[in-house]
A and B are shown apart, each in its own frame.
Chain A
Amino acid sequence: MNELAPLARASPVLATAPAAAIQPPPAPGFRLPFRLAWRQLRHEPARLAAALSGVVFATLLIFMQIGFKNALFDSAVLVQNSLQADLFLMHRNTEALWRSASFPRARLAQALALPEVERVTPLYVANVPWRNPETGLNRTLLLFGVDPTARLLGFHGLDDAAWHAITRPDTILFDERGKPEFGPIRSLLAQGSFFGELNRKRVEVVGSFGLGATFSSESNAIASETTFWRIASGRNPAQVDVGAIVLKPGANVATTKRALQALLPDDVMVFTRAELAQFERDYWAKVAPVGFIFGLGVAIGLVVGCVIVYQILFSDISRHLGEYATLKAMGYTNGYLARVVMSAAFILAVLGFIPGFMLSLGLYEIATAQIFIPLHMTIPRASFVFGLILVMCVVSGLIAIRKLRDADPADMFR
């Protein structure tokens, strides 16, 4: 009668079940499979370390790729984010600021017809070569032409004195954070204004501002409209690149935008400042291959991590196939063993992410302090990367689980 002992313990369930039925295996929780996975992993510290190094590598690579990508995209919209206006006009064919198609200045005059509009300011941009005063080598920078009294550009260091200085003809302000290939602008300016050659025209550098190299330009300069037209010869003063519109206090930006869209012909697009920045971001993310390259970097990190984690999980199952088959013979279900493998994947994700995160934090600080690329660790970013790492480990686990099918308990007997 002894063989009935296990049944007797299960009698409450059995009482309601049909006579020939047997108590179905209860769904296993995650606690015991998790513990089994952990015991298996910690039993071989060297293998665990190898697996973790794969996850750490993937974490590090993804954090750096995302960090650099966002730093570049932030730099790409530095100009847009510093514009001191509420609405902006650009030609319908414009894809990005540095390669903008210009539109008739008359559109700005038309915009003035709306009662909500306080004033309008045209902005001109051109890519022109600057001759390095020390080496004599030419390098292209992005030149902004704008009315100095409009105070449209909000770059770092642009004070009243600087704006006032370029009201004189043939003077420019130079970006002191641009690439060093443009010359030692800061030290030259320390001794007062100096003369240089922009687009083979003599100009006087009378001040500086701080913007820095972006996606689209390695350095930048600002001139008044008249100086701009002289330097960028061939540019038609009646054709504008960006139209900046300042609204009267209290005017509704969204409704005014709709009114402008209705008022103006289809050759111009109307943006709020946030939309203008997003438009530029989208350009770099989609049109330029930069976003793709960084996405590729993230993908490579994920694939490499996936392969390493999969290899470890798969070979763990293969090497323990007999043990898994034994467990199946003892009545462990496929689902239970799958939970063991998924628990191992989860443990690898968490234990690998933590050191990967710490190392990335260190590298972010080094990048910010040593190479002036501001990389910021934020909670959303850390959670996002952890999510990627988790998905990576789960996918590896799901692929490795198929190997469990090979564990046939009947094979344990010959």
Chain B
Amino acid sequence: MNAVEIRGLSHRYGAGPTALTVLHDLDLTIPAGEIVLLTGPSGSGKTTLLTLIGALRAVQTGSCRVLGIELSKADERTRVALRRRIGFIFQHHNLLSFLTARENVAMALELDPDLDEAERLTRAEAMLQAVGLADKVDAYPAVLSGGQRQRVAIARALVHEPGLILADEPTAALDSKTGHETMALLQHLAKERGRTVFIVTHDPRIHDIADRIVAMEDGQLVQPATH
């Protein structure tokens, strides 16, 4: 069972003579439960690939199956529905400033009509406990440290039991020690729960959390440097 199956995926920005092709006929498979890191020079198309997998952009050419859903020719409704089964971790935590840590995490559960408020809060609290923030459930993001905020963001990305977790430079705003701790925590939680994780990163210090490292150059996947 593969979480992601990409065949012949190409993507370009713009149209006409100024069009810029950033992904060239790409193939990639991520089996369920694997943690995959994507590295590569700036501008090589990593983020573009991640937003396509995350159903945040329309697929132009090729096939892109995510969690069993074909995204080529998928309409906005399908993409929105798929996003609900993905956990996103951003470079910046992107927490809602007017909500407490627990309310922020519970936001990932408010789209599920089968859950009631008590269940949402219990699960949010349990998830915050799992990321080591049991004493910060009622804190607003403004009073949390950068590492704590990113851990709240991880809790939010995991709490709704997503089939796939996508992260783009999740350590960029953190110092290297905190960055590694946070990713080790993500690895631990993902492995514990059997989650699939796809991380775009420049940070060589977090290579050790990966099951597999893929490298990208000029819109094509290349053989990664051995590590």
Contact = CB atoms under 8 A, between A and B. Distances in A.
Interface stretch (B14-22, B88-96, B127-135, B211-219): B88-96
A216 B207 CA distance: 89
B83 A20 contact: no
B29 to A, nearest CB: 14
Interface string A4-17: 11110100000000
Contacts of A5: 161, 163
B194 A331 contact: no
A329 B54 contact: yes
B57 interface: yes
Main DSSP-derived SS at the A contact region:
helix
A401 to B, nearest CB: 17
Contacts of A329: 54, 56, 83, 88
A1 B51 CA distance: 23
A333 B81 CA distance: 9
Interface string B159-172: 01111100011000
A144 B57 CA distance: 80
Contacts of B114: 9
B66 to A, nearest CB: 10
Instruction: Give the interface centre of B69, B97, B169 by most chain A CB atoms within 10 Å.
Output: B97
Contact of A3 (B32, B88, B99, B169): B32
A43 B111 contact: no
Interface in B38-96: 47, 50-51, 54, 56-57, 67, 69-70, 77-78, 80-86, 88, 90-92, 94-96
B98 A413 contact: no
A25 B195 contact: no
A331 B82 CA distance: 8
Interface string A331-352: 1110000000000000000000
Interface string B193-210: 111100000000000000
A410 B53 CA distance: 11
A21 B82 CA distance: 11
A186 to B, nearest CB: 63
Interface stretch (B102-110, B144-152, B180-188): B102-110
Contact of B47 (A32, A39, A323, A414): A414
Contacts of B110: 32
Interface residues of A, number: 35
A297 interface: no
Contacts of A6: 84-85, 112, 160-163
A23 B97 CA distance: 31
B3 interface: yes
A22 B161 contact: no
B98 A43 contact: yes
A172 to B, nearest CB: 72
B33 interface: yes
Contacts of A320: 96-97
B52 to A, nearest CB: 9
Given A25-B111, A43-B97, A413-B56, A331 B81 contact: yes
A3 B80 contact: no
Nearest to A319: B97
A4 B67 CA distance: 8
A412 interface: yes
A412 B90 CA distance: 7
B58 to A, nearest CB: 10
Nearest to A329: B88
Contact of B103 (A7, A22, A39, A327): A39
Contacts of B164: 3
28 contacts: A2-B194, A3-B3, A3-B196, A6-B161, A6-B163, A24-B77, A25-B77, A25-B81, A26-B113, A39-B99, A39-B103, A40-B98, A322-B94, A326-B90, A326-B96, A327-B96, A329-B54, A329-B56, A329-B88, A330-B88, A330-B107, A330-B108, A331-B81, A331-B82, A409-B56, A410-B56, A412-B94, A413-B90
Interface of B: 1, 3, 32-33, 47, 50-51, 54, 56-57, 67, 69-70, 77-78, 80-86, 88, 90-92, 94-99, 103, 107-108, 110-114, 156, 160-164, 168-169, 193-196
